[in-house]
A and B are shown apart, each in its own frame.
Chain A
Amino acid sequence: MNLAVCFKRVPDTTAKIRIASGGKAIDPQGVEFAISPYDAIALEVALRLKEKSGAGEVVGVSMDPEGNDVAIRKALAIGVDRAVLVKGGATFDSHATAQVLAAVLKPRSFDVIFFGKQAIDDDAFQVPTMVAQLLGLPRVNVCTSVEIEGGRAKCRRQIEGGEESVELALPCVISVQKGVNGIHDNRFPTMKGIMAAKSKPVETVAAPAFEPTLELVSLELPPERPPGRIVGQGAAAVPELVRLLKEEAKVL
């Protein structure tokens, strides 16, 4: 089973974000980077499917404007067999990213191309669908379970008030939700895995150029949350609290 997993390098969820001068990018100074958590789950899904089938390989694919290989090395350390680092592209342009990834994926043959359902930096949810469209492959998004059997992918996903089961012919594109196949995180890399990662093949390719499809105007930090207010103590505070919830917050 040949599986590709596309993943994005994003600031670690615990990183303190600052906007770089110019207002159009995140200041990388002092920020630790990680694999976007849903993509990390996709990696784990693929690794387990491969382990279960006992054959094939898992190939990591990551587009990175700076060509930074931190995420790639992490993926190799947890067990990805080899990786393609696509240097170039633009961080927040989903369509341009999809075009780059589709161009890189097209000449390689995979049974399934996995993604996380969204990257946690731009929350766009768009790239998997666009890649599938550009490659002319069937796709299903936000899956909560994935099985590969007899040349078909059997997936389940949550829908309003219920669950949907779908089947796709391979090759296909699948994006995954947290909890898919009971997976909430990728495995810890092992010490051996970390040491072995150095010697695994990483192919670096330049991102083909595409016309940007949107212009990033500016990035801004969310406004600071106003500090909490103490309206009183004990039971005596309840009437005032109820009044504020009703009249000010309008939640009652």
Chain B
Amino acid sequence: MGKKKKANWNGFSLKPRKEMPEGLWLSCPSCKNMLYKKTVDENLGICTECQHHFRINGATRVEQLVDEGSFEEIAADLASSDPLEFTWGEQNYKDRIKVDPEQMNAHEAMLVGKAFIRGRGVMLAVMNFDFLGGSMGMVVGEKFCRAVDRAIAESLPFIVVCCSGGARMHEGLVALQQMAKTSAALARYDQAGGLYICVLTDPTTGGVAASYAMLGDVIIAEPKALIGFAGPRVIQQTIKIELPEGFQSSEFLQEHGFIDMVVHRKDLRSEIGRLIDYCGK
């Protein structure tokens, strides 16, 4: 690994950029200030100096979003069957997805469950970037659809928090087809009259962006999240010119008409609650 940091990219994430490093202190990638980690954690993972929204894992997101103790997880123990028996170099996918029961993040790339947000009952799906970059494979697709089924059965609003680099290539076309599967489930949900709210967080790209992330009745984004179909690196390699400032940010998408509102993390709960009330759900 004599090369630059790039060589560490394992195909799941662009993690080294914005991950919250372990330890007491962390440096804000946006304003470069050194921040006391505990302070940031207590501040919902937001930089106290410049409001930079750090990436947070699925469990933390659930904790922040729902009424305390109200999250009732479903389909928790699903795991990928490794349909391609995928291996690369010395590594194989089967080992890579083994979850550690001791770890808080043994949730695959998505947690789904029933919860209350400011007293409103909802089905909630939260993507977990800590698990292979939040990539969408068969487990994400299946959990998503079970959540939709339940939301239809119980006439609940469906809230999804996206945080993903896209389809999980280790599951090949099975992963790609999860785009179709989740979108088809949303068609059913739409026909059943359900309210679907998606919250796009940094990053929402690839197959997730090109399926359920863009199908919300209401689409909310956290400030300055990276949202797009193709990753900036791919675009740059293709067109070979510098990308404009702020390209593919939440604000950029709002300006171009693809997002209803950019909402600060602190206001997410109240905003979602209000929307549910407006829609009479």
Q: Do A and B belong to a common assembly?
A: no
Interface residues of B (CB under 8 A from A): none
